[in-house]
Amino acid sequence: KRAKKPAGAPDKALAKRITKVGVIGAGLMASQFALLFVRRLQVPVVITDLDQARVDKGLAYIRDEIGTLEQKGRISSDEANRLRALVTGTTDKADFADCDWVIEAVFEELGIKQDVFAEIEQHVSPEAVLATNTSSLSVEQIGAKLANPERLVGFHFFNPVAVMPLIEVVNAPKTDEATLSTAMVIAAKLRKNAVITRDTPGFVVNRVLAKVLGETMHAVDEGTPFEVVDEAVKPFGLPMGPFELLELVGLKVGAHVLDTHHAAFPERFFASDNLHRLAEHGKLLERDGKGNVTGYDKGAVKIV
Ligand code: 3HC
């Protein structure tokens, strides 16, 4: 049984000062929050990934988005240039040596995340705070290979990062107060609402999401067509239908979220083979040239 930790807000005075941010992963989520870090913290941000091509793709995304902010008049061109200069990419983890906040958004596989943190711990100072953007894995297990697991915290963003107002700060059993405090102060600087959650599968938001997506996929598994499910669910007031949302978060991520919940609570959550098949194909909805949904990938769906 987990030891009870004090609830309530951590002492802000314990928060560590952040002078450089390290981002491990240069994919969809990581690039989006790297941009937010540089914009709101105004400190150097270094991103890394498995190879230079991935790093370059992440950097290109960040630079494009800075350009869009400039075009929209949200930032001046001086500011845009300053932000661009603050973001760098590397494939050498030694460049993380002076980072005091390192956050990862690599593939959602426990072993990979454990190894990423064990490796980065060799490069950063003992004072650096470490964070994971995991969607639904256990933060405690992710930190299992760390020498100092008390400096690891969950810091869960939602897609699109620029727009979604929430961050789940996951208080793992070993997370210490200075780490939690640092995470809360950073979230406030990013101008997000932060909630502190327990380290339970799916935390809070993905529990709800896994229910909605699991039930809607299950209706499809049972033979109800996608467009009928979509039409039935949309009037609940969702900003987008469940299948568009699945495409936004990524079919593989969505399938992983369902699997994690099903593994943790088999009676309460569905996993969906159809979602895995669709994830392999890489697409779910079919669209016309203007982006309107015209149908879905029927070939990949098997009725159970
Ligand atoms: N990146 C950056 N900005 C984006 C964006 C993106 N991908 N998508 C939309 N935006 C911005 C637009 O630029 C626009 O900003 P502006 O007003 O400054 O120009 C603003 O958002 C509104 O966009 P639009 O008018 O084009 O579109 P909508 O009003 O239809 O809103 C939406 C788009 C915000 C994506 C809305 O459909 C929505 O809220 N969808 C649900 C998203 C959601 O539930 N996300 C959570 C997913 S779960 C998750 O991420 C957790 C993970 O662990 C699985």
Q: What's the predicted TM-score (pTM) here?
A: 0.94
Do residues 288 and 243 share a domain?
Answer: yes
Q: What is the pLDDT of residues 116-160, one digit of tens each?
A: 999 999 999 999 999 999 998 999 999 999 999 999 999 999 999
Task: Specify the higher pLDDT residue, 17 or 235.
Answer: 17
Supply the CATH number for residue 261's domain: 1.10.1040.50
Q: What is the pLDDT of residues 205-230, one digit of tens each?
A: 999 999 999 999 999 999 998 888 88
Do residues 148 and 75 share a domain?
Answer: yes
ipTM value: 0.96
Distance CA 95, CA 44 (A): 12
Do residues 216 and 168 share a domain?
Answer: no
pLDDT of residue 226: 85
68 lines ligand 1 (CB under 6 A): no
Q: Is residue 34 part of a domain?
A: yes
DSSP character string of 161-229:
TTT--EEEEEE-TT--HHHHHHHHHHHHHTT-EEEEEES-TTTTHHHHHHHHHHHHHHHHHTT--HHHH
Nearest CA to ligand 1 atom 31: 239
Supply the CATH number for residue 37's domain: 3.40.50.720
Q: Is residue 156 part of a domain?
A: yes
The structural domain count of the chain equals 2
166 lines ligand 1 (CB under 6 A): no
Distance CA 280, CA 200 (A): 28
Do residues 62 and 175 share a domain?
Answer: yes
Helix axes 205-221, 273-281, angle to 10 degrees: 90
pLDDT of residue 173: 96
Given 169, 198, 227, the domain boundary residue is: 198
What band does 288 get if pLDDT is binned at 50, 70 and 90? confident
Q: Catalytic site residues?
A: 156
CA of 166 to the centre of ligand 1 (A): 13
Helix axes 205-221, 226-233, angle to 10 degrees: 140
Given 142, 174, 198, the domain boundary residue is: 198
Domain that holds residue 24: 12-198
Q: Is residue 1 part of a domain?
A: no
The answer, yes or no, to whether residue 1 has pLDDT greater than 50, is no
CA of 245 to the centre of ligand 1 (A): 10
Question: What share of residues in the chain are helix, strand, coil (percent, to 5)?
Answer: 50, 15, 40
Given 198, 228, 263, the domain boundary residue is: 198
Do residues 211 and 240 share a domain?
Answer: yes
